[in-house]
Structure 1
Amino acid sequence: MKKLSALTAALVLAGCSQMPQYERPAAPVPGAFPYPSAQEGTPAIDLRWEQYFTDARLRSLIASALRNNRDLRIAVLNIAQARAQYDIRNADKYPTVAFNASAARQPSFINNAPQQTTLYQANLAFSAWELDFFGRIASLSESALQQFLATEEGRNAAQMSLVANVAATWLNLAADEELLALTEQTLQTRAQSMDLMKLRFEQGVSSEIDFRLAQSLYETARASLAQFQRQRAIDLNTLALLVGEPMDPRFEVQVTTASVDLPDVPAGLPSEVLVRRPDVQQAEHLLMSANADIGAARAAFFPRITLTAGVGTASADLGGLFKGSAWGYTVIPSLAQTVFDAGRNRANLAATEVSRDIAVAQYERAIQQAFREVADALAGRATYSEQVRAQAAVVDAESVRFRLAGLRYQNGVASTLDLLDAQRSLFSAQQDLVRVRLGRLQNQVQLYRSLGGGWNP
């Protein structure tokens, strides 16, 4: 007993986790973003989506998407599955105790006389419970825990993208409605111009060239109207998929790209902002899981100590099964050490170390991707405002040009070509202004998402 106690104490003292100490890799990105941002305000990752998007109809759509979107539902189910896997691994730390009861009746001979012997047994036992002196089970449990936490962050990342996609599609619909209204107005104007040119051509006042040019512009507007109607239907279908429920074909956003106002958010420092993004945290948990797998692979080189034990009773009389001195117990410790495995354990350790290196690279890539997304959005914020102002000035100039061309045409100073060209240029400039405003708003949504906004429950 003294030798056994000494051996057990030595094993306990020697036993320790073989898991490498985790250290977060340095972020492979610059210490600051390349474009200036707002210095004050609530960081995007702390700004709930209800606070960022103030339009009631948009907030209702986002809330419906969070309830019904199937991709998000799959992400939630993945969490439940990963939690169950962790519970399975964690249960390996504890013995599985089973209760067994049996009754056996068999013939026997006493003094050459046949007899019937009955034996009743009941016992409580566990078998092959591994004593985790070297941290193999603890490492596997830690790996499963990090996998579970990674799926939680994956769900948060999915929500972050879903909120941004719903907002971007909603903005697309706003632009679609603007372009449709603009095209319908332009179509009416061009129809009037075409009718006028046709009348002048039939009366011999103008040439057929003028009439055909007006007809071409009218048909071009008709083609644009069909294109924008198709695009609106596609965007509405996309919104229905994101929201997870059918959308009324008559649904209207009831806002314009000029009326939507989204708050500005500070970018902060990459080292503080990017590591809090759910997708980056997901990559880090996967890295920590791979790190824990190394501990399990290292522990495979050490002896595996298991314990089988039980306590029970036996009696020839059922009534006396739990009486008297028929109780007994067994304790059977065992130790198994691999002597030869053709390099299997060493290869398994090498594989886990490579998996950890892959996870490091994936974590670093996640940070680099996040940095690029923020930098792109900041570049857009630095330039979109000036582009919107410049394009608005183009629309103003083309509006004045179209008005003056109409006056000159009525007074016989300008040609039909001048009038129709001014009309075409104004329509093109107005479309470009809607698209630039849409780009600016979508860039703001992208900046909010890239800074980690939108995943808060």
Structure 2
Amino acid sequence: MDNRILYKIIIVLFILLLALSCNVPQTAVKTANKMVPEAYPYSGDSTNTGKLDWKAYYRDENLIALIDTALKNKQELKIILQEIDISKAEVRSRKGEYLPFAEIRAGAGLEKEGRYTRHGAVDEQLEIRDGRSFPDPFSDLLIGAFASWEVDIWKKLHNAKKAAVFRYLASREGKNFMVSQLIADISESYYELLVLDKLLDIIEQNIKIQSNAVKVVRQQKSAARVTQLAVNRFEAQLLNTQNLQFSIKQNIVETENRLNYLTGSIPHPIKRNSAQLNQLTVDSLQAGIPAQLLVNRPDVRQAELELKAANLDLRVARANFLPSLGIKAGIGFQAFDPAFLVRPESILYNLAGDIMAPLVNRNAIKAAYNSANARQIQAVVKYEQTILNAYTDVLNQMSKIRNYTDSYQTKSREVELLMESISIANSLFNAARADYAEVLLTQREALEAKMDLLEIKRQQLQTKVNVYRSLGGGWN
């Protein structure tokens, strides 16, 4: 073929490639709004409780032992660790894609051409050397090194590798978030167990008080000071209080089993020190500043890394519209006889380069690009939603600290007054200056107030756990 015709063909193909490359969609990457207020309401400084180590935050040997056991045994953590390994393998795979592929190849073959064919007739006339005809059948021996490399001129492969790295880092943050949630769940259940123990103690104390009241009212009936109606009312209230302890005991069993499940242990009694319940406080917790959530909370960092990966995926999808450059090369030895294989005349080598641009399957590429674009927008929305949720979570928990503290103080005063009222009502009843209904009502109100006080204490401790989690504590 005339060289001028060949050059024209090459020029036409080059122009065609340029035309195809110009029809590439413009990448409109949606940026995330991660602005947060400069400070929380009622917040002092940048001191952040969430930066504390979880062992220093909880400071309960029994609770720490439960958490340590969970971190070793929990099946969900083992599963997510395998997912992290999968992500790490994906990074290695992506890294290998933009490096040259090289291989050592060795082969042997045997071929027999038909005598009355074009190739067979030609082979019949060939001589390898003077007096030595072309071998029939023909054997083919090959040994050599071959390589291929896609030149990453648009950084498509590099971006795919970086996206895999971000997803690997996101999977690690996902594991940290799970650890934070697991520690919060264990701590919350542990504190609930302490509250149930204390509640059972209160019920048992009230059973003793009401049992003594039943004895007194029976004596008064014998003395004809009260009727059987009074005795029945006191005994009925005693039975009602006794019945409460059974549901509390069942709740204790279920809470212990929940803790055993969270720690990945066979159900067994949970070791705890319920006497320290009243010593647990939730004051002096510092929220720091909202900007720290972007660094401290694993779920926020995970969403940010997934957004970075989605941004790179969009670039990769766009680069699929552009031409790709490939280079292939090889060198080795090839001969039909082992005696000739390592001779200079048997050396072979090749070097080729090609440029390819998508022509027929552009619809599939467009679909992949649109999908990547949608996922990028989705990642932006998820990131913004995660930040908003984190900020709102902290506000709610800090508000609960103030309100539950005030509520606990108010309810404590109510309990003190009702306990005094029980003594007063009993004295007045024994002196025939108060009706038995007043005694029963006062006892019931005092018991309900004590139970309400313990419920407020449980909510306080739950807030203690959730404040630490919402500030990003627990995983470090």
Fold conserved between structures, TM > 0.5 = yes
Q: Counterpart in 2 of 1:89? A: 94
Q: Counterpart in 1 of 2:32? A: 25
> Distance between the aligned counterparts of 1:422 and 1:152, measured in 2?
56
Once the two structures are superposed, residues 334-387 of structure 1 have per-residue CA deviations (whole angstroms, 9 ceiling, x without a partner) of 221123446333333222222111111110110111011100111012222221
* Alignment map for 1:271-350 (pairs within 5 Å): 271-318=291-338, 321-341=341-361, 343-350=363-370
Q: 2:213 aligns with which of 193, 196, 208?
A: 193
1:79 counterpart letter in structure 2: I
Alpha-carbon shift at residue 446 of structure 1 (Å): 0.8
Alpha-carbon shift at residue 115 of structure 1 (Å): 5.7
Q: 2:455 aligns with which of 423, 426, 435?
A: 435
> Distance between the aligned counterparts of 1:283 and 1:102, measured in 2?
51
Q: Is 2:237 the partner of 1:232?
A: no
> Distance between the aligned counterparts of 1:48 and 1:24, measured in 2?
34
- Asked if the contact 1:301/1:345 (under 8 Å) is kept, the reply is yes
TM-score scaled by length of structure 2: 0.85
Q: 1:415 aligns with which of 427, 435, 438?
A: 435
What is the SS of the residue equivalent to 2:33? Answer: coil
Alpha-carbon shift at residue 22 of structure 1 (Å): 7.7
Q: Counterpart in 2 of 1:126? A: 147
Q: Counterpart in 2 of 1:352? A: 372
Alpha-carbon shift at residue 324 of structure 1 (Å): 3.4
> Distance between the aligned counterparts of 1:272 and 1:252, measured in 2?
34
1:228 counterpart letter in structure 2: I
Alpha-carbon shift at residue 197 of structure 1 (Å): 3.1
Q: Is 2:294 the partner of 1:270?
A: no
> Distance between the aligned counterparts of 2:135 and 2:429, measured in 1?
131
1:57 counterpart letter in structure 2: N
* Alignment map for 1:107-256 (pairs within 5 Å): 118-127=139-148, 129-201=149-221, 204-249=224-269, 251-256=271-276
> Distance between the aligned counterparts of 1:73 and 1:342, measured in 2?
42
Does 409-418 or 163-172 show the bigger shift? 409-418
> Distance between the aligned counterparts of 2:193 and 2:355, measured in 1?
69
> Distance between the aligned counterparts of 1:153 and 1:214, measured in 2?
59
What is the SS of the residue equivalent to 1:414? Answer: coil
What is the SS of the residue equivalent to 1:257? Answer: helix
**Closer, same or farther: CA 269–19 of 1 in aligned 2, 3 Å:** farther
Q: Counterpart in 2 of 1:60? A: 65
> Distance between the aligned counterparts of 2:357 and 2:399, measured in 1?
61
Q: Counterpart in 1 of 2:116? A: none
> Distance between the aligned counterparts of 1:384 and 1:69, measured in 2?
33
Once the two structures are superposed, residues 298-342 of structure 1 have per-residue CA deviations (whole angstroms, 9 ceiling, x without a partner) of 111111222222111124553663453422211121221123446
What is the SS of the residue equivalent to 2:145? Answer: strand
Q: Counterpart in 1 of 2:3? A: none
What is the SS of the residue equivalent to 2:425? Answer: helix
- Asked if the contact 1:290/1:359 (under 8 Å) is kept, the reply is yes
- Asked if the contact 2:31/2:380 (under 8 Å) is kept, the reply is no
**Closer, same or farther: CA 282–399 of 1 in aligned 2, 3 Å:** same
TM-score scaled by length of structure 1: 0.88
Once the two structures are superposed, residues 409-450 of structure 1 have per-residue CA deviations (whole angstroms, 9 ceiling, x without a partner) of 222212211222221111111112222122112212111110
- Asked if the contact 2:45/2:289 (under 8 Å) is kept, the reply is no
> Distance between the aligned counterparts of 1:136 and 1:45, measured in 2?
39
Does 193-202 or 210-219 show the bigger shift? 193-202
> Distance between the aligned counterparts of 1:183 and 1:69, measured in 2?
35
- Asked if the contact 1:275/1:367 (under 8 Å) is kept, the reply is no
What is the SS of the residue equivalent to 1:258? Answer: helix
> Distance between the aligned counterparts of 1:25 and 1:349, measured in 2?
20
2:176 counterpart letter in structure 1: N
* Alignment map for 1:395-406 (pairs within 5 Å): 395-406=415-426
Q: Which runs of 5+ in 2 are unaligned?
A: 1-6, 113-122
Alpha-carbon shift at residue 203 of structure 1 (Å): 5.9
What is the SS of the residue equivalent to 1:99? Answer: strand
- Asked if the contact 1:52/1:262 (under 8 Å) is kept, the reply is no
> Distance between the aligned counterparts of 2:50 and 2:151, measured in 1?
44
1:423 counterpart letter in structure 2: Q
Does 369-378 or 111-120 show the bigger shift? 111-120
Once the two structures are superposed, residues 384-424 of structure 1 have per-residue CA deviations (whole angstroms, 9 ceiling, x without a partner) of 22211111111111111111112212222122112222211
2:57 counterpart letter in structure 1: Y
Q: Percent identity?
A: 24
- Asked if the contact 1:175/1:256 (under 8 Å) is kept, the reply is no
RMSD: 3.0
Q: What count of residue pairs does the alignment treat as equivalent?
A: 445
- Asked if the contact 1:274/1:451 (under 8 Å) is kept, the reply is no
Q: Counterpart in 1 of 2:119? A: none
Alpha-carbon shift at residue 204 of structure 1 (Å): 4.2
> Distance between the aligned counterparts of 1:397 and 1:114, measured in 2?
115
